[in-house]
Amino acid sequence: MNVALPEPIEESLGQIGGIEGLKQYLPPGDELNRKSKVFTALADSTRLKILYLLNTQPLCVCVIKEVIDIADSKLSYHLKALTTAGLIDKEQNGPFLIYSITHTGKRCIQIWV
């Protein structure tokens, strides 16, 4: 680096191999993308409500809709975001779609409880 650094920063960077050594602490790009999707999904209060509900038990769409009082199109949007992030799963049970929380979703909830 061609920039003057504070002495403690320069020393600690030197101990880990400089800038190249520091880069080694970054996760691979695919892992960062996956985690980014999770954080994006968690950055909405409606999706957090859904996740908390599903942490209690698997639920059909009609129950989730009733509890959080949301329009069908908005609920569908939020469920898709949570599913895409790997926080919830869905399973067809006759005419019903049953949503449940995944292991990753449970871990996210446990962080805040």
- Phi/psi of residue 3, nearest 5 degrees: -120, 140
The SS3 of residue 112 is: helix
Average pLDDT over residues 41-64: 96
Confidence of residue 113 (pLDDT cuts 50, 70, 90): low
Asked if the structure places residue 6 within a domain, the reply is: no
Who contacts 67 (Cβ-Cβ below 8 Å, separation ≥6)? 49, 53
Asked if the structure places residue 3 within a domain, the reply is: no
Asked if the structure places residue 83 within a domain, the reply is: yes
Specify the number of domains making up the chain.
1
DSSP character at residue 17:
T
Asked if the structure places residue 7 within a domain, the reply is: no
Q: What is the per-residue pLDDT across 74-97, written as a single tens digit (0 to 9) for each?
A: 999 999 999 999 999 999 999 999
Containing domain of residue 61, as a range?
Answer: 27-112
Who contacts 51 (Cβ-Cβ below 8 Å, separation ≥6)? 42, 82, 87, 88, 101, 105, 108, 109
- Phi/psi of residue 93, nearest 5 degrees: -130, 90
Asked if the structure places residue 15 within a domain, the reply is: no
